Chain A
Amino acid sequence: DAGVTQSPTHLIKTRGQQVTLRCSPKSGHDTVSWYQQALGQGPQFIFQYYEEEERQRGNFPDRFSGHQFPNYSSELNVNALWLGDSALYLCASSPAISSYNEQFFGPGTRLTVL
């Protein structure tokens, strides 16, 4: 049973560029959440997708956008990158109906903005 997968593992961009990160949820999961984890800090919630729509959003600017596909995989897009966007981006999946609200995380994508 494949867990949550993310690609790429590492990414280096320059200020002003745009980036797309990808996530495939755990088998049987239809809800995908994205988190940003700055170095030495806890993850911060960006947004959550269910049924191809953004269901919840954290305190992140519109430069951060996403998409969910019919097969439940998801993309995170960040436009106009700046140095502060350098972080580990984590994707987490969960079933729509869960007794525990727990989420299963992927290994993350390390984004460096120069």
Chain B
Amino acid sequence: AQTVTQSQPEMSVQEAETVTLSCTYDTSESDYYLFWYKQPPSRQMILVIRQEAYKQQNATENRFSVNFQKAAKSFSLKISDSQLGDAAMYFCAYSSGSARQLTFGSGTQLTVLP
């Protein structure tokens, strides 16, 4: 079974600074997708960024980028120029190419300090 591990229950960052959230996963499959979702206090789960395993290039979405290390099964999220609105719970998630369900990590609570 696939597992996703987020080893940082809480992180904090100063506004305008950069923070990196860690995620590791375990799978025996070669075709899969990785995601970072953000869940603010409103509870709405919002997709931040996605990465296809077959792509070597790291995904980037504006201030959000990932460091995808396939051999190490690592998928970290970097948030640049942090804003107060980035404060939320961040979940790393995995989906195999065949099974459409998402497997989530336990989350990292990010606090942005003014």
- Give which listed residue, B33, B45, B52, B106, contacts A105 with CB less than 8 A: B45
Interface size on B, residues (CB 8 A): 25
Residues 53 to 75 of chain A near chain B (Cβ within 8 Å): 55-56, 58
Interface of A is mostly: strand
Closest to B37 in A: A105
Q: Which residue from chain B places its CB closest to the CB of A47 in the assembled complex?
A: B101
B 32-58 to A, binary, CB cutoff 8 A, 1 in contact else 0: 010101000011111100101000000
Q: For the complex formed, measure the closest distance between the CB of B24 and the CB atoms of chain A, giving whole angstroms.
A: 14
Interface residues on A, range: 20 to 34
The answer to whether B33 and A102 touch across the interface, beta carbons within 8 angstroms, is yes
Central interface residue in B35, B91, B97, B100, by most chain A CB within 10 Å: B100
Partner of A107, one of B33, B44, B52, B101: B44
Residues of B within 8 A of A (CB): 4, 33, 35, 37, 42-47, 50, 52, 91, 93, 95, 97, 99-107
Chain A to chain B contacts (Cβ below 8 Å), 22 pairs = A33-B102, A41-B106, A41-B107, A42-B93, A43-B104, A44-B104, A45-B101, A45-B102, A45-B103, A48-B100, A55-B100, A58-B101, A88-B43, A92-B45, A94-B100, A100-B50, A102-B33, A102-B35, A102-B47, A104-B47, A107-B42, A110-B43
